[in-house]
Amino acid sequence: MARSFVVQQHQATTLHYDFRLEVGGVLRSWAVPKGPSMDPAEKRLAVEVEDHSLAHGAFEGPTGRGGVIIWDRGSYEPLDAPFADALDRGKASFRLHGEKLHGAFTLVRTGGSERKPQWLLIKQRDDEADGTGPVAERPESVVSGKTLDEVQRS
C-alpha cells in the first residue's frame, strides 16, 4: 500500500524544507535546511519536528512570517517493516515516487536533543541517483508552478 509524502519549502525564521512522510495517519516531519539531494554523497541534516495532520501537507500560500510551497509530493514505499518501528529505532529506508524526487532514501538518527532529534536524509546509490541538486534546479511548486518568492508576494 502506497503512502504519501510531501516536501514543502517553508520561509519562517529561516528558509528550510519540511520533509513529511505519512506514517500511522499523520505526517512525520523533519526540517531539512538545505533541502533534499539526489546525490548520495550529500548527506542532509534533518531535524525532527512535531507530527502534522495529513491535511497540512496540502497547504501552500503566504504565512505571517513568509510562505510555503509544495515543492514535491507523491507516494512512497517503506523498505523496512514495520516502518513506524524502523523510524522509532532510528534508521528507516524508503523509495520515493515524487514529481522531483525518485528512488531510495534513508533517514538515520544521529543525535540531538530528545525534543529535537537530528537525523541525516541520505539518497541511496541506485539508478535514480543522478547527482543533481533539484532544490536549485527546480525551485517551483509542483502545484502552482510558482516560486516561494512569488507565493510570499501574493
Q: What is the pLDDT of residue 115?
A: 83
Q: Is the Cβ–Cβ distance between 66 and 60 less than 8 Å?
A: no
Q: What is the pLDDT of residue 15?
A: 95
Q: Which residues contact 58 (CB under 8 A, 6 or more apart)?
A: 6, 70
Tens of pLDDT, residues 6-21: 999 999 889 999 999 9
Tens of pLDDT, residues 32-81: 999 999 999 999 999 999 999 999 999 999 998 899 999 999 999 999 99
Tens of pLDDT, residues 130-144: 988 899 999 999 999
Q: Per-residue pLDDT for 126 more than 70? A: yes
Please name every residue paired with 94 in a beta bridge, in sequence order, or none if there are none.
78, 105
Tens of pLDDT, residues 78-98: 999 999 999 999 999 999 999
Q: What is the pLDDT of residue 64?
A: 82
Q: Is the Cβ–Cβ distance between 100 and 17 less than 8 Å?
A: no
Q: What is the pLDDT of residue 1?
A: 61
Using the structure block, give the residue that is written with the C-alpha cell 506514517.
23
Average pLDDT, the chain: 95
Please name every residue paired with 9 in a beta bridge, in sequence order, or none if there are none.
17, 69
Integer angstrom CA distances of residue 42 from 34, 99, 131? 10, 20, 9
Q: Which amino acid would we find at residue 115?
A: R
